[in-house]
Chain A
Amino acid sequence: MPRPPAVELDGIAKKFGEVVALKSVSLGVGEGEFVCFLGPSGCGKTTLLRVIAGLERQNAGAVRMAGRDVSRLTPSERNYGIVFQSYALFPNLTVARNVAYGLETRRVPRAEIERRVDELLDLVHLRAHKERYPAQLSGGEQQRVALARALAPSPSLLLLDEPLSALDARVRQALRVEIKALQRRLGITTVMVTHDQEEALTMADRIVVMNHGVVEQIGSPFEIYTEPSSLFVARFVGHMNFIPATACERPGWVRVGSVELRHRPGPTPPAGTRLTLAIRPEEILIGLAARDGENRIVTRVCAMQFLGAFTRLGLALPGDTGPTLECDVAVNALAEVGAREGAELALVLKPQALRLFSDGG
């Protein structure tokens, strides 16, 4: 018999007055898995996390942990550690006492507590700051204390509510790696809420993309990035070009302005349907690769944006005045391609990369 998932949500629905926050959300989190709830603000991801934690009571549905229904258990009976967006570190207690907080009520001998505190502070590299107060630490250090505090009682589940959003970009990047490594090492089941798609892509084993209280897509970061199941996911995750198109008589082809393009094989909508093509900037072929091939079009460079390692070109399709497509070109390839404002540029949109979405969603 397969082991039940560490966390299982079954038809969770939640409303605040007449505002619906969650509409029947069901999903499972495997043991030791790192799952991210990703979505824009107001999509219900934090509410969902708080339902798991028992800090919010759902109107319908069940929460199960390792097969046991915990829906009616209070937060303190559910056995998880949590890190809030604000960290909620106790300002009047030292770092060591903060980390020891959950241990001190459990009749753990004092020496044992000290040992565990040291162990956890070593884990987050903060042993030297043991006797400091939270206000004397940097944002990133506070974040790590909150993490150590949540992990101290050895919970079976770790919940992270936008844990990195209050930090500046550089610290955030470093902590992503650190938290992920820590999670791997401890093998603790983790659910993290974030609105930052890059964060979700780099940290999660699986991503749950949410919008308006429903799950849009569940998949590995690779799946979510390469195979977005809806226009919303395509828009929200990564950078994507969207080209308005209409379906042709010929199955597998669509019309964009004056040209016809072949798209990735899939269901064929009736001719004349308004559609949206989607292709990522890095999937557009230019230069040598675009000398010939299917879906070859000639565009005009109408904007160039220097972004350091690469330059983002704004390209106008034949007949268009403004840029419809954006394409990233590495610095050293720029001259080779001959891109400058006003110049013409041939490119190939490989059919395999041209995803097709109906305009409804």
Chain B
Amino acid sequence: MAVLRADREAAAIPEGVVRHRLDGETALRYLLTGLFGLFLYLFVLYPMAKVLWRSLLDNDGAFVGLANYARYFSTPAIAASVTNSLYVSVVAMVVTVCLAYVYAYALTRTPMPGRGVFRVVAMLPIFAPSLVQGIAFVYIFGNNGIWTRLTDINIGVYGAKGIIMAEVFYCFPHAMLILIAALTATDARLYDAAAALGASRLKTFATVTLPGVKYGLMSACFVVFTLVITDFGAPKVIGGKFSVMATEIYNQVVGQQNFTMGATVSVVLLVPALVAFVVDRLIQRRQYALVSSSAKPLEPRKNPLAEWSLFAYCFLIAASIAAIYLVILVVSLVERWPYRLSLTLKHYAFDTVGGYSPLLNSVYVSALTAVVGTAIAFIGAYLVEKWRTRAGAPLYALSLLPVSIPGMVLGLAYIFTFNVSGSILNRLYGTLAILVISNLIHYFTVPFLTATTSLKQMDAEFENVGASMGVPFYKTFWRVTVPIALPSIIAISMYLFLNAMVTLSAVVFLVAPGTELAAVAVLLMDDAGDTAQAAAMSVLIIAVGLMVRFVYWGLMRGVTRRTQAWTATAVAADQVTMMGTGSLK
């Protein structure tokens, strides 16, 4: 009865609302939202539709339905790339997450000495393109590697083994950051309760520790899996004849000019990345409620034996990571590794790739990506979050989509979209601008989510207060929203800069004469056999990354000091968000 009555009452009220007059401010908001939608359509949705469509055509442009897929799976040489990709991804995922879990556990749950140093060293791979690890392992375990020469044992590094080794190191910091966040966000009271109830160590681990980090572990697994299956650099450098999907796309497109098969492999590669992304989102949504605000942080307990064995473990891992970059550094500085070890700077001449212009291009593109990307991500998140219009949900979904698009696929999609003669979009092709756009789309999701989170933490009434006093929303945005979100904004721009510096997959198809980038130059020099120069370029990429990180750290300190008067917690919280989701790619 009551329900019926309520229905009738609701029906008696008109559906539409009394609309407000369209004033300049509202018009501006609609315009900005429209531009954001156009941006996402043009650079995300439309290119992806192009790839999908292209995989249904033959090389002459005739519609052939699923014939390409049939051919893909029936050609053993190409089909093997699917199983190969899955194989290395799963193995690398298991190894990385296991190693990183123990490492993160030691850093968070023990009072072990040197935790800060261990943490910093483990972060090093973030600053290097994935192919640097591959190059290093070739120098160590390759046919002429130092290990091979010293021990006369050739472990056969070219192939699955080498890819997995390189990927484990490449993905280690990403897994570690997620697990550190998961292990930190625990409630000491649960351990007190377990102890009070007389639970054994094993039982406590099974009933308290494991359920607490369950979602973190899963998240780390998905992140590493996605990183490996979409990675192009390491398999390219160390994979030899072992073909994975990412290198297969490259071979089809660059090697055989077979764009159709490239598109087909791309669509297949989208599937695991998309599945991993969706499942990870679902898990993260459930994770939020896990730690209540009244939770007490866990104080590490003393246990000398465990501590020292964990210290030895961490030392081993950190030393291995450091060794990789040491090898790269040494190789770049000696005459001819490992035959003539006299010091030289000649590898820093980069004579085959036109000197320093790729590096300068990279810095320029990364800086632009950081500035433009931060602005678009933040304003986009603001429009979606603050004005809950009907366009909000589709814009949000489109903003999340890029994280599940592998770089190779995005690059290929941009070829199909922008390398079309006669189209106005063609003007972008071969410019630095398209590199900036592909970078900022490739890494768009994490900044967008970080901005959304930081906007959600703000009082929802700021704009309303402004409006009540006749202050336009953009003034309140500039005077209040942006200053409050400054830590997030700086974090977002650093994230974009660092990733744009090291990415290879999204830009490898898009560089043109005059717009070469550093990471691509490393690839080209390695391909041409100039591995010492490739190492030298890698050293410079890492150096730039570290410098930017240092600047970021300084900026953050400055901002924190300035804003300490009015906030105490915002900065730390933002950084955790950034890092927690920051490694999805």
Enumerate chain A interface residues (CB-CB to B < 8 A): 13-15, 18-20, 23, 53-55, 57-62, 71-78, 80-82, 84, 86, 88, 90-93, 101-102, 105-106, 133-136, 149-150, 152-153, 155, 159
Stretch at the interface among B190-198, B459-467, B572-580: B459-467
Residue pairs across A and B with Cβ atoms less than 8 A apart, 8 shown, are A14-B13, A60-B18, A72-B19, A74-B26, A76-B469, A86-B461, A102-B469, A105-B471
Stretch at the interface among B2-10, B200-208, B222-230: B2-10
Task: Mark contacts of B471-492 with chain A using CB atoms, 8 A cut-off: 1 yes-contact digit, 0 otherwise.
Answer: 1100100011001100000000
Cross-chain contact B464 with A55 (CB below 8 angstroms): yes
Cross-chain contact A20 with B468 (CB below 8 angstroms): no
Residues of A near B568 (CB, < 8 A) are 135
Residues of A near B60 (CB, < 8 A) are none
CA distance A74 to B14 in the complex (A): 21
Residue from the set A53, A62, A90 with the largest chain B CB neighbour count within 10 Å: A90
CA distance A57 to B367 in the complex (A): 43
Task: Mark contacts of B553-573 with chain A using CB atoms, 8 A cut-off: 1 yes-contact digit, 0 otherwise.
Answer: 000000000010111100000
Q: Scan residues 17-42 of chain B and give those whose CB is less than 8 A from a CB of chain A.
A: 17-21, 23, 25-26
Query: Which 7 A-B pairs rank lowest in CB-CB distance, beginning with the nearest?
Result: A102-B469, A88-B461, A57-B17, A75-B467, A133-B566, A92-B483, A91-B566
11 additional contacts (CB under 8 A) given A74-B23, A102-B469, A135-B565: A18-B10, A72-B20, A73-B21, A74-B21, A76-B23, A78-B468, A90-B465, A101-B465, A101-B469, A101-B479, A105-B471
Cross-chain contact B468 with A81 (CB below 8 angstroms): yes
Would you give the shortest CB distance from B387 to chain A, in whole angstroms? 12
Residues of B near A57 (CB, < 8 A) are 17-20
- The answer to whether the Cβ of B16 comes within 8 Å of any Cβ in the partner chain is yes
Given A53-B468, A75-B467, CB of A20 within 8 Å of CB of B483: no
Cross-chain contact B472 with A76 (CB below 8 angstroms): yes
Would you give the shortest CB distance from A129 to chain B, in whole angstroms? 13
Residues of A near B566 (CB, < 8 A) are 91-92, 133-136
Cross-chain contact A93 with B479 (CB below 8 angstroms): yes
- The answer to whether the Cβ of B470 comes within 8 Å of any Cβ in the partner chain is yes
CA distance A101 to B464 in the complex (A): 13
Residues of A near B475 (CB, < 8 A) are 105
Residues of B near A73 (CB, < 8 A) are 20-21
Would you give the shortest CB distance from B130 to chain A, in whole angstroms? 40
Cross-chain contact A20 with B20 (CB below 8 angstroms): no
- The answer to whether the Cβ of B299 comes within 8 Å of any Cβ in the partner chain is no
CA distance A55 to B26 in the complex (A): 13
CA distance A54 to B466 in the complex (A): 13
Cross-chain contact B468 with A76 (CB below 8 angstroms): yes
Given A76-B25, A77-B23, A135-B567, CB of A82 within 8 Å of CB of B18: no
Given A57-B17, A86-B459, A88-B459, CB of A106 within 8 Å of CB of B10: no
Given A101-B469, A105-B470, CB of A59 within 8 Å of CB of B14: yes
Given A59-B14, A59-B18, A91-B567, CB of A74 within 8 Å of CB of B467: yes
Residues of B near A133 (CB, < 8 A) are 565-566
CA distance A202 to B440 in the complex (A): 58
Residues of A near B471 (CB, < 8 A) are 76, 101-102, 105
Cross-chain contact A153 with B461 (CB below 8 angstroms): no
Contact of A92 among B18, B466, B469, B480 (CB under 8 A): B480
Residues of B near A152 (CB, < 8 A) are 469
Cross-chain contact A74 with B468 (CB below 8 angstroms): no
Cross-chain contact B13 with A72 (CB below 8 angstroms): no
Given A59-B14, A101-B469, A102-B469, CB of A91 within 8 Å of CB of B21: no
CA distance A106 to B6 in the complex (A): 46
Would you give the shortest CB distance from A117 to chain B, in whole angstroms? 14
Would you give the shortest CB distance from A260 to chain B, in whole angstroms? 35
Contact of A76 among B6, B18, B467, B479 (CB under 8 A): B467
Q: Which chain B residue shows the least CB distance to A84?
A: B461
CA distance A19 to B9 in the complex (A): 9
Cross-chain contact A59 with B468 (CB below 8 angstroms): no
Residues of A near B17 (CB, < 8 A) are 57-59
Q: Which chain B residue shows the least CB distance to A83?
A: B465
Cross-chain contact B20 with A54 (CB below 8 angstroms): yes
Would you give the shortest CB distance from A179 to chain B, in whole angstroms? 18
CA distance A20 to B13 in the complex (A): 8
Residues of A near B466 (CB, < 8 A) are 101
Residue from the set A72, A76, A77, A78 with the largest chain B CB neighbour count within 10 Å: A76
CA distance A311 to B568 in the complex (A): 47
Cross-chain contact A18 with B20 (CB below 8 angstroms): no
CA distance A19 to B3 in the complex (A): 11
Would you give the shortest CB distance from A192 to chain B, in whole angstroms? 15
Would you give the shortest CB distance from A88 to chain B, in whole angstroms? 4
Q: Which chain A residue shows the least CB distance to B469?
A: A102
Would you give the shortest CB distance from A69 to chain B, in whole angstroms? 10
CA distance A18 to B14 in the complex (A): 11
Residues of B near A134 (CB, < 8 A) are 566
Cross-chain contact A20 with B484 (CB below 8 angstroms): no
Q: Which chain B residue shows the least CB distance to A161?
A: B461
Q: Which chain A residue shows the least CB distance to B568?
A: A135
Cross-chain contact A102 with B470 (CB below 8 angstroms): yes
CA distance A62 to B465 in the complex (A): 23
Residues of B near A54 (CB, < 8 A) are 20
Would you give the shortest CB distance from B315 to chain A, in whole angstroms? 43
Cross-chain contact B469 with A81 (CB below 8 angstroms): yes
Q: Which chain B residue shows the least CB distance to A92?
A: B483
CA distance A88 to B480 in the complex (A): 11
Contact of A20 among B10, B19, B23 (CB under 8 A): B10
Cross-chain contact B18 with A74 (CB below 8 angstroms): no
Task: Mark contacts of B289-320 with chain A using CB atoms, 8 A cut-off: 1 yes-contact digit, 0 otherwise.
Answer: 00000000000000000000000000000000
Cross-chain contact A82 with B468 (CB below 8 angstroms): yes
Cross-chain contact A90 with B480 (CB below 8 angstroms): yes
CA distance A20 to B471 in the complex (A): 32
Would you give the shortest CB distance from B156 to chain A, in whole angstroms? 59
Q: Which chain A residue shows the least CB distance to B3?
A: A18
Residues of B near A20 (CB, < 8 A) are 6, 9-10, 13
Residues of A near B459 (CB, < 8 A) are 84, 86, 88
CA distance A59 to B20 in the complex (A): 12
Would you give the shortest CB distance from A356 to chain B, in whole angstroms? 26
Q: Which chain B residue shows the least CB distance to A146?
A: B465
Would you give the shortest CB distance from A64 to chain B, in whole angstroms? 13
Would you give the shortest CB distance from A171 to chain B, in whole angstroms? 21
Residues of B near A55 (CB, < 8 A) are 464, 467
Q: Which chain B residue shows the least CB distance to A58?
A: B18
Residues of A near B21 (CB, < 8 A) are 72-74, 77
Residues of B near A76 (CB, < 8 A) are 23, 25, 467-472
CA distance A55 to B469 in the complex (A): 13
Would you give the shortest CB distance from B25 to chain A, in whole angstroms? 7
CA distance A18 to B8 in the complex (A): 10
Cross-chain contact A23 with B9 (CB below 8 angstroms): yes
CA distance A58 to B13 in the complex (A): 10
Q: Which chain B residue shows the least CB distance to A57?
A: B17
Cross-chain contact B16 with A59 (CB below 8 angstroms): yes
Residues of B near A81 (CB, < 8 A) are 468-469
CA distance A102 to B23 in the complex (A): 19
Task: Mark contacts of B526-562 with chain A using CB atoms, 8 A cut-off: 1 yes-contact digit, 0 otherwise.
Answer: 0000000000000000000000000000000000000
Task: Mark contacts of B435-464 with chain A using CB atoms, 8 A cut-off: 1 yes-contact digit, 0 otherwise.
Answer: 000000000000000000000000101101
Q: Scan residues 408-440 of chain B and give those whose CB is less than 8 A from a CB of chain A.
A: none
Cross-chain contact A82 with B480 (CB below 8 angstroms): no
Residues of B near A15 (CB, < 8 A) are 10, 13
